[in-house]
Chain A
Amino acid sequence: MARTEYQEQLDELRSNVVAMGELVIDRYDAALTALEAKNESLAREVIEGDGDVNESYLALEGDCIDLFALQQPVASDLRFVASSFKIITDLERIADLAVNVAEYAIAAERERYPEIDLAHIGTETGAMLAEAVAAYEAGDAELAAEIADRDDAVDRLCSDASNAIVEDLIRTEYDDDPAELMDDVSRLLLTVRDLERVGDHAVNVCARTVYMTDHDTELLY
Chain B
Amino acid sequence: MSQNQQSGDEASAESESLITTDVQPAETNRRSRSATILETRDLSVYYGDDRALTDVSIEIPEHSVTALIGPSGCGKSTFLRCLNRMNDLIDACRVEGEVTLRGKNVYDEDVDPVALRRQIGQVFQKPNPFPKSIRDNVTYGLEVQGKSATDEDVERALKGAALWDEVKDQLGSSGLDLSGGQQQRLCIARAIAPDPEVILMDEPTSALDPVAASKIEDLIDDLAEEYTVVIVTHNMQQAARISDRTAVFLTGGELVEYDDTATIFEDPADDRVEDYITGKFG
Contact = CB atoms under 8 A, between A and B. Distances in A.
Interface residues of A, number: 14
A159 B268 CA distance: 43
B282 A78 contact: no
Contact of B279 (A3, A78, A215): A3
B16 interface: no
Interface in B255-282: 264-268, 273-274, 277-282
Assign chain B's interface to a size class.
Answer: 10 to 19
Interface in A3-34: 3, 6-7
Interface in A98-143: none
Contact of B281 (A2, A72, A73): A2
B237 interface: yes
B208 interface: no
Given A78-B265, A79-B266, A215-B266, A73 B278 contact: yes
B265 A76 contact: no
Contacts of A3: 278-280
B176 interface: no
Contacts of A7: 280
Contacts of B267: 75-76, 79, 215
A77 B274 CA distance: 9
Interface string B223-266: 00000000000001100100000000000000000000000111
A75 B277 contact: yes
B240 A74 contact: yes
Contact of A74 (B277, B281, B282): B277
22 contacts: A2-B279, A2-B280, A2-B281, A2-B282, A3-B279, A6-B279, A7-B280, A72-B237, A73-B278, A74-B236, A74-B240, A74-B265, A74-B266, A75-B268, A75-B273, A75-B277, A75-B278, A76-B278, A77-B278, A78-B266, A79-B266, A79-B267
Interface of B: 236-237, 240, 264-268, 273-274, 277-282
Interface of A: 1-3, 6-7, 72-79, 215
Query: Which A-B residue pairs are the 3 nearest by beta carbons?
Result: A3-B279, A215-B267, A74-B265
